[in-house]
Amino acid sequence: MPILPPRRNPKTGVQKEGNFLPIPSKFPKIIIPYFADRPLNFHNYLSTPSSAWRWGEHRVERALSERTSPLAMEGLHSMIGSFLNATIDDIALTGLSAPYSGKVRQSYNAPGGRKIIVATDRLSAFDRQITTIPLKGQVLTQLSRYWFEKTRDICPNHVIAYPDPNVVVCRKLNMLPVELVVRGYLAGSTGTSILRMYKAGRRTMYGVTFPDGMRDCQKLDHPIITPTTKAGVAEHDAPLTPQQVVAENIVDQATWNTVSAYALALFARGQEIAATRGLILADTKYEFGVLPDGTILLGDEIHTPDSSRYWIADTYQQRLDAGEMPDTLDKDVVRRWLTAHCDPYNDPIPTIPDEVRIATAETYISVYEKITGEKLVLPDAAVDPAKRIQAAVQDYLAGNP
């Protein structure tokens, strides 16, 4: 069967449609433990083992030990498959200001000091646009919604309303030019991660000195804040020390004190709730902003798989002791696939196989469902998501001019 080359958005270079083909049935279908009632067909992973593709290996291993009835094996794979060609890449809403296009979100100014932020399904990694992941924008918006609600007693946030599963209407903030990354573990795969730097021999990072002999993904004595500059779409974030943030007037001391206290308290709440769901929130990133009256609010997103690293708690120690990476529930999946197939910082990005896109979607949905304890409410796959979002935003603005 011919495989058509993927279409790419000429503006963003993001892959629009993949090469999704009906899955041959020569390999067994396997149930994924995260979804007691939802199947995933792992034929590609079984037929293309790769030592770098460890995520696939250990999930296949566990999946084999938890195989369930054939009836339960319908479902997730084909469900996600039906959204593969209906992902939201670039979305241009009409009747609004020109959008600001971030790596993942498109935002529009609205009257009354509001911003309308649409989460697309774009996946960015290594500061590049990689592909789209079915239902990712909805998961990001809905999971942030959950966490904004669970943390608003700690820190006020920018949310006003959710007119659509992919859209938040929020207070327009003057965003601080610094991202507060909070890390509880020696982890990460990007150039600014403490694990990469530690392995390269650095012992003082972000103003914190680390002892020799630490193991990959080891828990830190206490969470630390590793601030980075907020880089533009094509730039890389740069590490800073908290002292530099203030000394270089990136934010003033009082603001830094407030946001760093917020960040640590939010992270503690995040870790606490994640732990009750069998997950470890290993690290995350917060973005704060200021209202015209000087109030500091939490903006952007919170504790999503894009901004955070989640691990499975019950296998963490055992895998660490075996010298293995923790079972991860974040976009490390795609990062690892890319690292195994190219130099993700310099090479052209290869076409991401649909199986990897589906597996990534499954991971995002899994985090949502594990954390919230709710099933993700699926949109109608037959409805064009751009039209749906346009209508929802128009309705909202008509009722809330």
Ligand X SMILES: Nc1ncnc2c1ncn2[C@@H]1O[C@H](COP(=O)(O)OP(=O)(O)OP(=O)(O)O)[C@@H](O)[C@H]1O
- Region near ligand X per CB under 6 A, out of 101-109, 253-261, 328-336, 384-392: 101-109
- Region near ligand X per CB under 6 A, out of 191-199, 214-222, 226-234, 310-318: 226-234
Q: Which of 121, 164, 300, 330 binds ligand X (CB under 6 A)?
A: 300
Exposure letters 273-296 (e unless 16+ CB within 10 A, then b): bbeeeebbbbbbbbbbbbeeeeeb
Q: Residues 6 or more apart from 321 whose CB is under 8 A from it?
A: none
Give the start-end residues of each E strand in 231-355. 279-290, 296-299, 308-312
- Region near ligand X per CB under 6 A, out of 169-177, 200-208, 248-256, 362-370: 169-177
Is residue 232 involved in binding ligand X (CB under 6 A)?
yes
Distance CA 187, CA 196 (A): 8
Distance CA 163, CA 161 (A): 6
As measured in angstroms, the least distance from the Cβ of 383 to ligand X is 24
As measured in angstroms, the least distance from the Cβ of 334 to ligand X is 16
Q: Which of 73, 133, 143, 170 binds ligand X (CB under 6 A)?
A: 170
As measured in angstroms, the least distance from the Cβ of 122 to ligand X is 8
Is residue 114 involved in binding ligand X (CB under 6 A)?
no
Residue whose CB is less far from ligand X, 12 or 41: 12
Is residue 175 involved in binding ligand X (CB under 6 A)?
yes
Is residue 299 involved in binding ligand X (CB under 6 A)?
yes
Distance CA 110, CA 113 (A): 7
Residue whose CB is less far from ligand X, 214 or 250: 250
Is residue 287 involved in binding ligand X (CB under 6 A)?
yes
Long-range contacts of 19-27 (CB under 8 A, 24+ apart): 19/351, 19/353, 19/354, 20/81, 20/84, 20/85, 20/354, 21/354, 23/77
Is residue 331 involved in binding ligand X (CB under 6 A)?
no
As measured in angstroms, the least distance from the Cβ of 276 to ligand X is 28
As measured in angstroms, the least distance from the Cβ of 277 to ligand X is 25
Torsion of CA 152, 157, 160, 165, to 10 degrees: -80
Q: Which of 115, 269, 335, 357 binds ligand X (CB under 6 A)?
A: 115
Is residue 173 involved in binding ligand X (CB under 6 A)?
yes
- Region near ligand X per CB under 6 A, out of 229-237, 321-329, 362-370, 374-382: 229-237
Residue whose CB is less far from ligand X, 121 or 332: 121
Q: Which of 6, 75, 102, 156 binds ligand X (CB under 6 A)?
A: 102
Long-range contacts of 370-378 (CB under 8 A, 24+ apart): 370/34, 370/277, 370/278, 370/279, 370/329, 371/143, 371/146, 371/147, 371/273, 371/274, 371/277, 371/279, 371/303, 372/142, 372/143, 372/146, 373/277, 376/135, 376/138, 376/139, 376/142, 377/165, 378/79, 378/135
Residue from 313, 310, 316 nearest 333 by CA = 310
Structure tokens at 41: 């067909």
Is residue 233 involved in binding ligand X (CB under 6 A)?
yes
As measured in angstroms, the least distance from the Cβ of 270 to ligand X is 18
Q: Which of 242, 289, 305, 344 binds ligand X (CB under 6 A)?
A: 289
Residue whose CB is less far from ligand X, 233 or 340: 233
Distance CA 251, CA 267 (A): 21
Binding residues vs ligand X (CB under 6 A): 102-105, 107, 115, 158, 170-173, 175, 230, 232-233, 287, 289, 299-300
